[in-house]
Amino acid sequence: MLPECSRPGRSAATSDPRLGPRLPPRLAEGKTVKNRLHLDVRVGTGLVGDERVAALEAECARLVALGAVRVRLLRADGVSESCLVMQDVEGNEFCLD
């Protein structure tokens, strides 16, 4: 079954002309276990190694200044490149990738 925000007639992105789109949508109930939507924000596309980590860290610093929280850096493992797990101001996780 699709999460309620993904069902036909519902939109995951709402738009307020003053604030821009809202992802994920605000819900009446609080987060209890996991996200209903997980976003990967492309920051280091085409970058590898230390150059990629530097790009992730720079974007992380910008987002922390806006209220996000750094969770952990996942280093490249030979299969996947490094990414940085973060939380928005409501505790929803997203990755800088």
Query: pLDDT tens digits, residue range 40-88?
Result: 899 989 999 999 999 999 999 999 999 999 999 999 998 889 999 999 9
Prediction pTM value: 0.66
Nearest to 35 by CA among 81, 71, 75: 71
Say whether pLDDT at 89 is over 90.
no
**Which range scores top for mean pLDDT: 5-9, 19-23, 47-51, 90-94?**
47-51
Is 46 in the same domain as 89?
Answer: yes
Residue 33 domain-assigned (yes or no): no
Tell how far CA 62 is from the center of its chain: 13
Q: Contact at 8 Å (CB) between 3 and 10?
A: no
H-helix or E-strand containing 64?
A: helix 49-65
Give the mean pLDDT of 35-42: 79
Total domain count for the chain?
A: 2
Beta sheet of 93-96, edge-to-edge order: 39-41, 93-96, 83-87, 69-74
Residue 91, pLDDT score = 85
Domain shared by 44 and 84, yes or no? yes
Range of the domain at 11: 1-28
Q: Are residues 96 and 67 in the same domain?
A: yes
Pull the structure tokens for residue 2.
Answer: 């699709």
Query: Within a domain: residue 16?
Result: yes
Rounded to a whole number of angstroms, the distance between the first and last alpha carbons of the chain is: 28
